[in-house]
Amino acid sequence: MELLSKYCSSVYVFENDIYYNFSKKLDSENDIHYNTTKEVGILSQINLGGEEMINKKALTVLALVMVLVTGIIIGCSPDSEQEEITIYSGRSENLIGPAFEKFTAETGIEVNVRYGDTAELAATILEEGENTPADVFFAQDAGALGALAQANRLQVLPEEYLEQVDSRLRSPDGEWLGTSGRARVVAYNTDNVDQDELPDSIWGFTEPEWEGRIGWAPANGSFQAFVTALRVLEGEEKAEEWLRGIQDNNPYEYHNNTSTVEGVGRGEADVGFVNHYYLFRFLAEEGEDFPVRHLYTSGDAGSMINIAGVGVLDVASNDDNVNRLIEFLLTEEMQKHFIEENHEYPVVKGMDIVDFIDVEDDSKLIPLAEINAPEMDLSDIDDLEGTLELLSEVGAL
């Protein structure tokens, strides 16, 4: 006898020409019932003294079917564990959606994704409390992960995954880890600015010689994360001083990183504060003659490395499935995906972006290990509200 079942909607029992179907139905009160119908075949019958008798073999099959129904009802009950996880993702569907599809194809684990703004999704999780359906929070930056960690909403991750990741790019307390990294840089127009003219610190751009030559995007989330890091590293007063210094130089205001690089490329601004990977989109579209390259400042917030990363919620329903997702995101294949699709830095020890991208000079990209980034706990850049207040106070927003 062979038993076949799919999604617990129908169960079939075969024995020679006997084919019975047990179909799950819901009544108006959503209670589960099972209808039994003979789909194919005819019960063998014999006639003894004018009376019909069902073949004993058929009766045996029917008895076995009734036993199986009990197990089916239990196994298909709403309380049975399903192979699925729910992710709240601040990363865009265009970038991370194909990765989730591949994960499902390889593991059979369904991924339910809610996409949105990272800060808004973090606030939603806090508002939903223990009733959140989210198992995993995939954040665009470390600050949002830090906010959930501070609210005791994240689990400590298994050491086997934490130890794979560069220590700068994961929580010191093990509550989240990066899946890819990005560096803050100063984009500059190579037609208008000599590399030797550039200062080695963001503070140099507060000098009067840079008046009318700077571009920034104060309403952009990555810029706000940079300002939050500046507040953490140098204090509120110094952060305000830097912002006012840039304001005094009458900067061009852009909507986001893309429009900032575009503005620098056309010579509207000579320099702009952005994430490193936006330049490569323009190089791909316009070629190597696109007149923008990068300055990596030294030891200040201008060269901070931020991450996109994941944390597991305290109410996660299936640790095994979640762990398989984390393991998947740290594979060489997925690290290469983030490099090739978005020119982001890999976070796994022993991997380097320059091993996968042919770069002629360090004015476009340098290895992660060579960036003189400031020492800081990225979990601390969680005070977005304070940054918005400061940007408003200095007139940047």
Q: What is the 3-state secondary structure (H, E, C) of the chain?
A: CEEEEECCCEEEEEECCEEEEEEEEECCCCCEEEEEEEEECCCCEEEECCEEEECHHHHHHHHHHHHHHHHHHHHCCCCCCCCEEEEEECCCHHHHHHHHHHHHHHHCCEEEEEECCHHHHHHHHHHHHHHCCCCEEEECCHHHHHHHHHCCCECCCCHHHHCCECHHHECCCCCCEEEEEEEEEEEEECCCCCHHHCCCCHHHHHCHHHCCCEEECCCCHHHHHHHHHHHHHHHHHHHHHHHHHHHHCCCEECCCHHHHHHHHHCCCCCEEEEECCHHHHHHHHHCCCCCEEEECCCCCHHHCEEEEEEEEECCCCCHHHHHHHHHHHCCHHHHHHHHHHHCCECCECCCCHHHCCCCCCCCCCCCHHHCCCCCCCHHHCCCHHHHHHHHHHCCCC
Check whether residue 199 and residue 156 sit in a common domain.
Answer: yes
- How many other CB atoms sit within 10 Å of the CB of residue 157? 22
| Lowest mean per-residue pLDDT among 19-33, 120-134, 303-317, 370-384 | 19-33
Q: Could you give the CA distance from residue 90 to residue 104 in angstroms, rounded to a whole number?
A: 19
183 and 303 Cβ atoms separated by less than 8 Å: yes
Please tell me the predicted confidence (pLDDT) of residue 37: 39
Please tell me the predicted confidence (pLDDT) of residue 209: 96
Cβ neighbours of residue 193 closer than 8 Å, sequence gap 6 or more: 270, 271
Residue 86 has pLDDT above 60, yes or no: yes
Q: Could you give the CA distance from residue 188 to residue 273 in angstroms, rounded to a whole number?
A: 9
268 and 261 Cβ atoms separated by less than 8 Å: no
Binned at pLDDT 50, 70 and 90, residue 392 comes out as very high
Domain range for 397: 82-397
Please tell me the predicted confidence (pLDDT) of residue 81: 52
Please tell me the predicted confidence (pLDDT) of residue 318: 83
Check whether residue 104 and residue 252 sit in a common domain.
Answer: yes
**In Å, how far are 61, 95, 105, 111, 338 from 98, measured between CA atoms?**
46, 7, 10, 11, 11
Segment 132-149 shows an average pLDDT of 94
Residue 191 has pLDDT above 70, yes or no: yes
Check whether residue 273 and residue 376 sit in a common domain.
Answer: yes
Percent of the chain with pLDDT over 90: 68
Binned at pLDDT 50, 70 and 90, residue 244 comes out as very high
Segment 209-223 shows an average pLDDT of 95
Segment 94-105 shows an average pLDDT of 94
Boundary-marking domain end, from 49, 75, 101? 75
Check whether residue 58 and residue 165 sit in a common domain.
Answer: no
Please tell me the predicted confidence (pLDDT) of residue 44: 34
Please tell me the predicted confidence (pLDDT) of residue 9: 39
Instruction: Please name the residue that has the structure tokens 């940047």.
Output: 396
Cα–Cα nearest to 158, from 310, 265, 36, 30: 310
Binned at pLDDT 50, 70 and 90, residue 22 comes out as very low
Percent of the chain with pLDDT over 70: 78
Check whether residue 390 and residue 251 sit in a common domain.
Answer: yes
277 and 140 Cβ atoms separated by less than 8 Å: no
Please tell me the predicted confidence (pLDDT) of residue 15: 36
Q: Which CATH number fits the domain that encloses residue 268?
A: 3.40.190.10
Check whether residue 198 and residue 303 sit in a common domain.
Answer: yes
Check whether residue 49 and residue 97 sit in a common domain.
Answer: no
Check whether residue 151 and residue 12 sit in a common domain.
Answer: no
Q: Could you give the CA distance from residue 261 to residue 270 in angstroms, rounded to a whole number?
A: 10
pLDDT digit string, tens, across residues 154-183: 999 999 999 999 999 999 999 999 999 999
Segment 231-247 shows an average pLDDT of 97
Residue 7 has pLDDT above 90, yes or no: no
Check whether residue 143 and residue 287 sit in a common domain.
Answer: yes
Check whether residue 41 and residue 95 sit in a common domain.
Answer: no
Residue 218 has pLDDT above 90, yes or no: yes
Segment 3-12 shows an average pLDDT of 37
Check whether residue 46 and residue 188 sit in a common domain.
Answer: no
Please tell me the predicted confidence (pLDDT) of residue 326: 97
Residue 51 has pLDDT above 60, yes or no: no
Residue type, 33: H
pLDDT digit string, tens, across residues 353-367: 877 876 665 567 888
For the chain, the average pLDDT equals: 82
Please tell me the predicted confidence (pLDDT) of residue 328: 97
Cα–Cα nearest to 295, from 189, 168, 181, 180: 189
Check whether residue 67 and residue 133 sit in a common domain.
Answer: no
Find the Cα–Cα–Cα–Cα dihedral 350, 352, 355, 359, rounded to 10°. -160
What the block records as the tokens of 244 is 């006012």
Segment 336-359 shows an average pLDDT of 86
- How many other CB atoms sit within 10 Å of the CB of residue 268? 15
Residue type, 184: R
Boundary-marking domain end, from 44, 75, 106? 75
Segment 306-324 shows an average pLDDT of 93
Q: How many domains does the chain have?
A: 2
Residue 132 has pLDDT above 50, yes or no: yes
What the block records as the tokens of 215 is 């571009």
Boundary-marking domain end, from 47, 75, 103? 75
351 and 368 Cβ atoms separated by less than 8 Å: no
**In Å, how far are 75, 270, 279 from 259, measured between CA atoms?**
54, 13, 11
| Lowest mean per-residue pLDDT among 27-31, 90-94, 239-243 | 27-31
